[in-house]
């Protein structure tokens, strides 16, 4: 066994899972590629959603970070912080939320935790609606709104969480319904649930489920939910940790596919906005954001160095229309993967929007998840020089593809070829 893996296992808890039988040590990145400690080069089709939204070692971000590091890295609280105010102004304007306020954290978990703090305080209720199969983080509060049991290591929550149907219909009784029938069934389920519940604080949902395997509800489902919720005063929290900043191609935010009821009351973001620097946050209506009166600050949330990265990264993203790139190149990649996998008995579907693409694997001739096949395809893709992710509900049977948003059409074609080869070797 490789020496670093032995040391990892001796000092890091067992529940920090690593990919691959022989885990990769990534030591360098460049554009859409990363290199391991042995100098092997991989096309990175997963890092875009993990951390590096735009490109590895993007010079504009590297320069902004090193300039800020050379100037000052001080507290983001207690004193005025120009990069934080500037990034907050940009995000408030982009959010579509009127009279918005922004609070920065250091992770998606802490962003959702803050949203729960604000929503429960605003509504004076600890009842939360979350989606089946969801993932919202690893803190004590966010594991308890995480419907995906594989990622929910405790049930001792102070929140009362009710899980709603709507995000997944790959299998089970909803699988054969049309979009309209599915939406109507889920709205009826929600209405029924609310009929047996006191005041609910909020519904939290990922517009496209990330860890859950890149599954999307029918467009408009959350707007239909919002009509039911708004009538009872409950809030809508969109967790855009994976779907924000144009990744889904058609929209800048994932909620816009459900936009009929307007923007969410609270929107949480994290992951890629700092292009690898740890930024998370919540943006929401002032009335809700200002709804707590005691002090509540985050020492590193809004740090000048992460804000400098965020400003440079966001400027690059907007100036280079990376949302448009996600739509165009993502569209090509989905088409190519659909054509390449047609007829493969283990490929149930290729789904997705923009550069957020899932490939669902099943046992041949059934609709049963096939986590072993997913793990084998990951290994085979790696051997071919491609890093991808995996996810899914209770079983990890979906491949997840989320490259940096600067992916070129040639790189998309190259990655699709490697993945096709990996799939054919397993399926």
For residues 31 and 354, which CB has a smaller minimum distance to ligand PMP in the complex? 354
The nearest distance, CB 179 to ligand PMP, in angstroms, is 23
Residue 350: phi, psi to the nearest 5? Answer: -110, 120
x-or-dash string of contact with ligand PMP, 348-377, rule CB under 6 A: ------------------------------
For residues 125 and 141, which CB has a smaller minimum distance to ligand PMP in the complex? 141
CA distance 255 to 151: 24
Using the contact rule CB under 6 A, the part of the chain among 21-29, 204-212, 333-341, 384-392 near ligand PMP is: 204-212
The answer to whether 214 contacts ligand PMP (rule: CB under 6 A) is: no
> By C-alpha distance, which of 140, 197, 139 is closest to 163?
197
The answer to whether 211 contacts ligand PMP (rule: CB under 6 A) is: yes
CA distance 348 to 151: 24
Using the contact rule CB under 6 A, the part of the chain among 51-59, 121-129, 135-143, 307-315 near ligand PMP is: 135-143
The answer to whether 241 contacts ligand PMP (rule: CB under 6 A) is: yes
DSSP 341-409: HTT-TTEEEEEEETTEEEEEEB-TTS--B-HHHHHHHHHHHHHTTEE-EEE-SSS--EEEE---TT--H
CA 266 to chain CA centroid, Å, is 16
The nearest distance, CB 354 to ligand PMP, in angstroms, is 16
Of the residues 32, 136, 169, 400, which one makes contact with ligand PMP according to CB under 6 A: 136
CA distance 250 to 160: 35
CA angle 351, 352, 358 (to 5 degrees): 60
Count, residues near ligand PMP per rule CB under 6 A: 15
For residues 108 and 404, which CB has a smaller minimum distance to ligand PMP in the complex? 108
CA distance 97 to 95: 5
The nearest distance, CB 207 to ligand PMP, in angstroms, is 9
Using the contact rule CB under 6 A, the part of the chain among 102-110, 223-231, 361-369, 391-399 near ligand PMP is: 102-110
x-or-dash string of contact with ligand PMP, 280-299, rule CB under 6 A: x-------------------
On the CB side of 312, CA atoms within 13 Å amount to 23
Of the residues 239, 370, 411, 420, which one makes contact with ligand PMP according to CB under 6 A: 239
The rounded radius of gyration (Å) of the Cα atoms in the chain is 21
> By C-alpha distance, which of 117, 271, 323 is closest to 201?
117
On the CB side of 412, CA atoms within 13 Å amount to 24
The nearest distance, CB 269 to ligand PMP, in angstroms, is 9
The answer to whether 109 contacts ligand PMP (rule: CB under 6 A) is: yes
The answer to whether 402 contacts ligand PMP (rule: CB under 6 A) is: no
Of the residues 51, 107, 161, 323, which one makes contact with ligand PMP according to CB under 6 A: 107
For residues 273 and 361, which CB has a smaller minimum distance to ligand PMP in the complex? 273
> By C-alpha distance, which of 271, 255, 282 is closest to 121?
282
The nearest distance, CB 33 to ligand PMP, in angstroms, is 23
Spatial neighbors of 86 by CB under 8 A, at least 6 apart, are 307, 311
H or E stretch at 239: strand 235-239
Alpha-carbon distances, residue 103 vs 83, 162, 178, 287, 313 (angstroms):
13, 27, 39, 14, 18
For residues 137 and 393, which CB has a smaller minimum distance to ligand PMP in the complex? 137
Using the contact rule CB under 6 A, the part of the chain among 18-26, 106-114, 282-290, 405-413 near ligand PMP is: 106-114
Of the residues 120, 242, 396, 397, which one makes contact with ligand PMP according to CB under 6 A: 242
The nearest distance, CB 146 to ligand PMP, in angstroms, is 9
Of the residues 210, 263, 274, 391, which one makes contact with ligand PMP according to CB under 6 A: 210
CA distance 213 to 222: 19
Using the contact rule CB under 6 A, the part of the chain among 134-142, 218-226, 366-374, 401-409 near ligand PMP is: 134-142
Name residues contacting ligand PMP, limited to 8-67 (CB under 6 A).
none
Residues that bind ligand PMP (CB under 6 A): 107-109, 112, 135-137, 206, 210-211, 239, 241-242, 270, 280
């Amino acid at each position: 066994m490789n020496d670093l893996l032995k040391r990892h296992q001796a000092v890091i808890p067992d529940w920090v899972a690593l990919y691959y039988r022989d885990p990769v040590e990534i030591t360098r990145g460049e554009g859409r590629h990363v290199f391991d400690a042995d100098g092997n080069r991989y096309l990175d089709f997963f890092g875009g959603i993990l951390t590096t939204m735009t490109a590895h070692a993007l010079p504009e971000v590297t320069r902004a970070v090193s300039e800020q590091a050379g100037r000052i890295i001080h507290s983001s609280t207690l004193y005025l912080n120009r990069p934080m105010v500037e990034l907050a102004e940009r995000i408030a304007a982009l959010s579509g939320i009127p009279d918005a306020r922004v609070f920065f954290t250091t992770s998606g978990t802490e962003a959702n935790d803050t949203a729960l703090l604000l929503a429960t305080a605003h509504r004076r209720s600890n009842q939360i609606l979350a989606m089946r199969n969801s993932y919202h983080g690893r803190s004590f509060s966010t594991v308890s709104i995480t419907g995906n049991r594989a990622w929910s290591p405790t049930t001792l929550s102070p929140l009362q969480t009710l899980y709603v149907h709507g995000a997944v219909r790959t299998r089970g009784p909803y699988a054969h319904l049309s979009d309209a029938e599915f939406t109507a069934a889920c709205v009826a389920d929600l209405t029924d649930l609310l009929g047996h519940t006191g005041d609910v604080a909020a519904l939290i949902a990922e517009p496209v489920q990330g860890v859950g395997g890149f599954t999307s509800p029918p467009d408009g489902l959350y707007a239909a939910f919002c009509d039911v919720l708004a009538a009872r005063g409950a809030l809508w929290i969109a967790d855009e940790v994976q779907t924000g900043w144009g990744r889904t191609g058609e929209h800048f935010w994932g909620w816009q596919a459900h936009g009929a009821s307007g923007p969410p009351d609270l929107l949480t973001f994290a992951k890629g906005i700092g292009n690898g620097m740890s930024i998370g946050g919540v943006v929401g209506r002032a009335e809700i954001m200002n709804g707590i009166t005691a002090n509540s600050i985050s020492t590193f949330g809004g740090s000048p160095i992460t804000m400098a990265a965020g400003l440079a990264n966001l400027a690059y993203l907007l100036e280079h229309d990376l949302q448009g790139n996600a739509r165009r190149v993502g569209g090509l990649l989905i088409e190519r993967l659909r054509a390449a996998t047609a007829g493969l008995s283990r490929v149930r579907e290729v789904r997705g929007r923009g550069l957020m693409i899932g490939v669902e694997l099943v046992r041949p001739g059934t609709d049963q998840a096939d986590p072993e096949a997913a793990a084998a395809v990951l290994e085979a893709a790696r051997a071919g020089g491609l890093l991808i992710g995996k996810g899914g509900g209770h079983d990890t049977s979906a491949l997840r593809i989320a490259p940096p948003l600067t992916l070129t059409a040639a790189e998309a074609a190259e990655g699709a070829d490697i993945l096709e080869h990996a799939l054919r070797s397993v399926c």
